[in-house]
Structure 1
Amino acid sequence: MKPFEASRCAVRRFLLDTQHLLFHSDIGDRSVLESTEQLIRQLECVQLDPIASVERNQHLVLAARIPGYEPEMLNELLNQGKLFEYWANAACTIPMEDYPLFEATRNRFRTRLQMELDKLEPAASDVLERLEVEGSLPSRDFRSRERVHGGWDNKIPKTKATSHALNLLQDIGEIRVVRRQGSERYFDLTSRTIPSKLLKEAKNTDEAKSREALLEKYLRAYRVFDSGDARFGWQKLNAKERREAITKRVDSGEVIPLDIEGVRRSYFILATDLDRLKEHERTIQVFLQEEASPIRFLPPLDNLLWRRERLVDLFDFSYKWEVYTPKTKRCYGYYAMPILAGDRLIGRIDPGLDRKNRRLHIRLLQLEPEVKITFQLRENIRQALKDFAAFHHASDIVIERTEPRDLSLSASSL
């Protein structure tokens, strides 16, 4: 199939549009809770992360897109059984109706983790027996003096045997997180908390079909994709298998190859998205007015940022999350978040929250050298910082450093 020739700007705007980041969100007559559920369904999933320099990643993703979103809303959807937590791009919150799609992933974990679970037999059996008898329980209720090697342990085993058992039993699908209270997870048996219709569908799902369906979900989540992504399809595919999966869909007409102006990497979109991309190509001359382009601060694991190479190709923006980089080697900070303005990534902020004193610290606010600092841009950044502070219930904002230094965003001006 002949590639569709597209400008980089059109592809960039198409991607932002499909990620619900190009325009102001309009929830219409829906409640914010209903809009949150719908957005997660449209994004396919939202990545979970426990780091809380400010709010956690999952809440920042949703707050950047939905006016009025509050963290309790995601927890409420989980409590209502509208979502489940499992492995997609990483640990994610996913619409409940997609539970059967992940049967191949659960089977892969069952095969891989059985020996490790056998070693944890006393702790794993205790977890299952207690949940059977007592119902949902918080993770803190499972105690063990035995320490084992967990996912983040190196030479010395530091993880409680029961904590490791909880994680493994969740991976293989025996138990699941049914609600959260703050950062604490509450577990229950999968067999009595997933709708029976979905359990039956999962059990009867052919493994090959499960893998295909999961790959389709990945394509809908990424929207602009390439075969070089090691996470392609959210399953363990080698480079040859990734290329073959795309070629198969190109040959069938399901996927369209792109020839993007000035981009060497080969990208693809779903055929069903071609008209939407063409519309952005037709309106490429329409300038996104600064005053109509809200500033958004994107968390390190935002859906838009999943493929770092794509950011370079489409946005001319290099991004690395420096949370695991030694402090002395960091360029932008522990929790640096890209700044989106219209259809451009223009810099980063590194925020931290003093919860006791309700103070938002901006350790660094950095703009890229080529960004033209206008009066309107300053005003939009000020408003975005105020909104970000309000979302975190902070009454004070402290900006410790800016680049360039003459950005003129003093605390008094906020």
Structure 2
Amino acid sequence: MSHQNIQYISLSEAQKIAVSAQLLTRNIDKETSSQTVLEKLGCIQIDAIRAVRRSHELVFLSRGISCKETDVSTEHFETWGHAHSLMPMSLWPHMEWRRRRLRASGFIGPEVDKLVCKSVLKVISAEGPKTMTELEPSVGKGWNRASATRWACEWLLSVGDLVCTSRNSRWQRIYSLPTESIPYPIRSSRHCDDLGLRHVVDLSMRALGIATDRDVADYFKISLPEARKILIESEYERVMVEGSAAIWYISKDIEMSFSAESIVAISPLDSLVWSRGRQKNLFQRDYILESYKPKLKRKFGYFGMPVLKGHRIVGRVAPRKSGETLFIEAQEFDDSISPDEIELLLQKLSTWASCSHVIMERD
């Protein structure tokens, strides 16, 4: 592919575009809400790890939004996006292409028991929303049957026969019927696969700001050929970024505005950095989540959080809450970061974790 007539931009400029698109510029309008953040990002990954707060809560907190421990006060549903994710309710009709494809191709994982699926739907239809714990006695007993229930719920959630729009105080999904939880105007809207895919590509571009075709494909886990085709047909501006041989695309809705460069830690599952390749290309970092590694095989810490200052990633910190104490397993920062900035960062993490003490485990 010829690179003639393609604009070159600096790495710093590309970083500013990406960070601004992700609403991490630290000058968020006072009226910005968690719903605004969810609508803009389109997809917020959910994970059970709770080293400081749950990952999706950290996404909101790092963008200046306060949220309760067990509640996300947004109009959302849960499904597979980048991974298992929160998505804004408005995205429901635009994800029909994925539900259709899943119905046609089947589920990756254990075989789904269709009889258990029918039993689960029957119980929820008759008795209302249920957690999986509440469903298990209704459809059978024993480990095997419980396992079948779990996979039935996963399947029904993935194809849209069940939905999860809230969780209980134990962070268990509450399954309900779409007719009970998805507003009719949204539920009744229908889109063909092509329109749905184009919508998620456009949403991905707005959320990323600047991206390669691989970044766009990765955001909602669509195929690379589909992402590439839509990007070209949609006539996104192509650019070259300093230090990268790839072709990049720029969003049509760039809004850059930075206030004073405050310092903030972000979840390792934040959409700014969840792609390792993008993290390397844009921020020249190669941080990986080590939570699922045995302790002796971790090189940094259980929950390494990248640290953002302005448009740059300037280091990382590995906090872990225990009771009212926040232990810092490890930290590393660029030389430009002052001790006062580090102290401010740790105080902020302590507040997020509702801890009264911070203890450094090692330098």
Q: Which amino acid aligns with 1:365?
A: Q
Note the 1:269-280 alignment, pairs <5 A: 269-273=250-254, 276=255
Q: Which amino acid aligns with 1:353?
A: K
Q: Look up the match of 1:249.
A: 234
Q: Does 1:221 align with 2:214?
A: no
Q: Conserved in 2, the CA contact under 8 Å of 1:61 and 1:298?
A: yes
Higher helix share goes to which structure?
1
Unaligned runs of at least 5 residues, structure 2: none
Q: Look up the match of 1:361.
A: 327
1:146 deviates by 4.9
Q: Deviations over 1:115-152 (max 9, x none)?
A: 9898513321221111111111122112244545xxxx
1:104 deviates by 0.3
* Count of matched residue positions in the alignment of Structure 1 and Structure 2: 356
Q: Conserved in 2, the CA contact under 8 Å of 1:45 and 1:93?
A: yes
1:338 deviates by 0.6
| Secondary structure of 2:307 counterpart | strand
Note the 1:25-40 alignment, pairs <5 A: 25-27=28-30, 30=31, 35-40=33-38
Q: Conserved in 1, the CA contact under 8 Å of 2:44 and 2:86?
A: yes
Q: Deviations over 1:231-289 (max 9, x none)?
A: 44635424x44433332233xxxx0111222322221112343xx47xx8xxxxxxx89
Find the aligned partners of 1:331 and 1:138 in 2 and give their Cα distance.
Answer: 38
Q: Does 1:192 align with 2:200?
A: no
Find the aligned partners of 1:119 and 1:68 in 2 and give their Cα distance.
Answer: 39
Q: Look up the match of 1:337.
A: 305
Q: Conserved in 2, the CA contact under 8 Å of 1:105 and 1:235?
A: no
Call closer, same or farther: CA 1:329–1:307 in 2, change over 3 Å. same
| Secondary structure of 2:314 counterpart | strand
Q: Deviations over 1:177-223 (max 9, x none)?
A: 13112321111111222111112113xx2222222222222222222
Q: Does 1:372 align with 2:336?
A: yes
1:12 deviates by 0.7
Q: Does 1:163 align with 2:150?
A: yes
Q: Deviations over 1:58-80 (max 9, x none)?
A: 00010001254433551x33xxx
Query: RMSD between aligned alpha carbons?
Result: 2.6
- The one of 384, 388, 393 aligned to 2:349: 388
Q: Deviations over 1:150-191 (max 9, x none)?
A: xxxxxxxx9621111111110010001131123211111112
Q: Conserved in 1, the CA contact under 8 Å of 2:205 and 2:216?
A: no
| Structure whose alpha-carbon radius of gyration is higher | 1
Q: Look up the match of 2:242.
A: 261
Q: Which has the higher contact order (CA 8 A, sep 6+)?
A: 2
Find the aligned partners of 2:51 and 2:349 in 1 and give their Cα distance.
Answer: 13
Q: Conserved in 1, the CA contact under 8 Å of 2:15 and 2:283?
A: yes
Note the 1:31-70 alignment, pairs <5 A: 35-70=33-68
Call closer, same or farther: CA 1:236–1:11 in 2, change over 3 Å. closer
Note the 1:13-32 alignment, pairs <5 A: 13-27=16-30, 30=31
Q: Look up the match of 1:293.
A: 261
Q: Which amino acid aligns with 2:188?
A: K
Q: Conserved in 1, the CA contact under 8 Å of 2:165 and 2:174?
A: yes
Find the aligned partners of 1:331 and 1:11 in 2 and give their Cα distance.
Answer: 29
Q: Look up the match of 2:167.
A: 180
**TM-score if structure 2 supplies the norm length?**
0.89
| Secondary structure of 1:296 counterpart | strand
Find the aligned partners of 1:233 and 1:390 in 2 and give their Cα distance.
Answer: 30
Find the aligned partners of 2:241 and 2:109 in 1 and give their Cα distance.
Answer: 47
Q: Conserved in 1, the CA contact under 8 Å of 2:304 and 2:317?
A: yes
Find the aligned partners of 1:12 and 1:51 in 2 and give their Cα distance.
Answer: 28
Q: Does 1:102 align with 2:88?
A: no
- The one of 4, 11, 29 aligned to 2:7: 4
Q: Look up the match of 1:130.
A: 123
Call closer, same or farther: CA 1:186–1:329 in 2, change over 3 Å. same
Unaligned runs of at least 5 residues, structure 1: 149-157, 281-287, 403-414
Q: After alignment, is 112-121 or 294-303 more displaced?
A: 112-121
Q: Does 1:201 align with 2:189?
A: yes
Q: Conserved in 2, the CA contact under 8 Å of 1:219 and 1:233?
A: no
Q: Conserved in 2, the CA contact under 8 Å of 1:137 and 1:188?
A: yes
Find the aligned partners of 1:114 and 1:348 in 2 and give their Cα distance.
Answer: 37
Q: Does 1:84 align with 2:77?
A: yes
Call closer, same or farther: CA 1:217–1:159 in 2, change over 3 Å. farther
| Secondary structure of 1:23 counterpart | coil
Q: Which amino acid aligns with 1:372?
A: S
Q: Conserved in 1, the CA contact under 8 Å of 2:262 and 2:310?
A: yes
Call closer, same or farther: CA 1:378–1:25 in 2, change over 3 Å. farther
Find the aligned partners of 1:97 and 1:138 in 2 and give their Cα distance.
Answer: 24
| Secondary structure of 2:237 counterpart | strand
**TM-score if structure 1 supplies the norm length?**
0.79
